[in-house]
Amino acid sequence: MSLAALISFLKSKESIIFNAIVALLTVGGQQLFSFFAFSCPCSPTENLRYGLAFLGVPALLLLIVGIVFNDNTWRLFTGTTYDVSIQERSRQSLLMKYKLLCFVLGNVLGRALVAPVTWLSVTLLNGSYYVCAASEYAGVQHYDIFTNMSVEVRRRTLAQFPCPQLVLSNFTRIREEVLLELKYQSQVSGWLLVAFVAILFFAVLCVARCCSPLTYLHLRYWTSYVNNEQTLFEQAVDQHSRIFALENIKKFFGFAPGSKKVTEIRMPSRLDWRTISGLDLLKVVDQDYCHYSLLQAWADEDLGDGKIISIDVEQTAVEAPPPLVPPISKTA
């Protein structure tokens, strides 16, 4: 397989590769987290809170991070439909819109759930968190030694089982059996979670493909087009913004970075410096135009040229420092 074919294959499986990398990083993070951070308190009621916190809170944080760092999330939040009123839309177009919204939401949640589901699965298969959380609620009615114990004493004794240094010698065998039972429950729960997620993913994927208005090849073309459009759009954004910024900088200083022959420079006044200093926030003027920076707002005010100083061209050619920004090729 040639390098180009390999790159094309990897690009077509970008989503699968990304999810696999996220899952592997989550597994590695969980193992490090368990080794360095987890230490069961071995105390009644505290075990449950501590174990559930280590099970649920990281999963919740991973879910939020997955949603926040997905570009489609913010496209949904910032998208507008002011151009056409809802009354003018046909029922078919509204149905298509809702289908697309469900598709985008499913894509966002699907990617965001990879890390938390992996975390929960790995932690349940490991068993340490579950053993700590459920130790005081283990079923020990069939052991004679617990028959005459009060509920409070029994819970305190069971809560100490995850910490071998706190367990009395006459409870050693019982402790091993109870921990094995809890670990069995945890691992079975982990495998059930993996099976449930796999079946749910397969079912949702089948339903989504059946409801899709596109055929298999058309869907592949659409995916390829969207990826290429995004790549080209980012390149155009970078080039367009650099050209726009260069024009504003040239108006402020009288020359643009990278110019080989500078014949004159502009000396900004104190008012100019004061105008462009401060927080560089986006200033929306109206629906048709907005200022992206204080420098652009200053340039759009069309102030006087200010003080212009002529420069010796030959001296500039010899002593000019290397350009800070490479010149933009016209063919780019």
> Does position 8 have pLDDT exceeding 70, yes or no?
no
Contact predicate 252/331, CB 8 Å? no
Cα-atom radius of gyration of the chain, to the nearest Å?
Answer: 32
Question: How crowded is the C-beta side of 149, counted as CA atoms within 13 Å?
Answer: 15
Ordered by start, the domain boundaries in the chain are: 13-225, 239-319
Q: What is the pLDDT of residue 75?
A: 81
CA 196 centroid distance within chain: 24
Q: At what angle do helices 114-126 and 172-211 cross, to 10 degrees?
A: 160
Higher pLDDT, 168 or 124: 124
- DSSP 8-state class, residue 331: T
**Distance from C-alpha of 249 to C-alpha of 247, rounded to nearest angstrom:** 6
Cross-strand partners of 307: 267
pLDDT in tens, 140-179: 878 878 877 888 888 888 888 888 888 777 788 888 888 9
DSSP string, 190-213: HHHHHHHHHHHHHHHHHHHHHH-S
pLDDT in tens, 267-297: 988 888 988 887 776 666 666 678 888 888 8
Q: What is the pLDDT of residue 64?
A: 92
* Mean pLDDT estimate for the chain: 79
CA 54 centroid distance within chain: 21
Higher pLDDT, 178 or 79: 178
Most confidently modeled range among 12-26, 69-83, 144-158, 295-309: 144-158
State pTM to two decimals.
0.70
Strands 283-284 and 264-267, by their bridges, are: unpaired
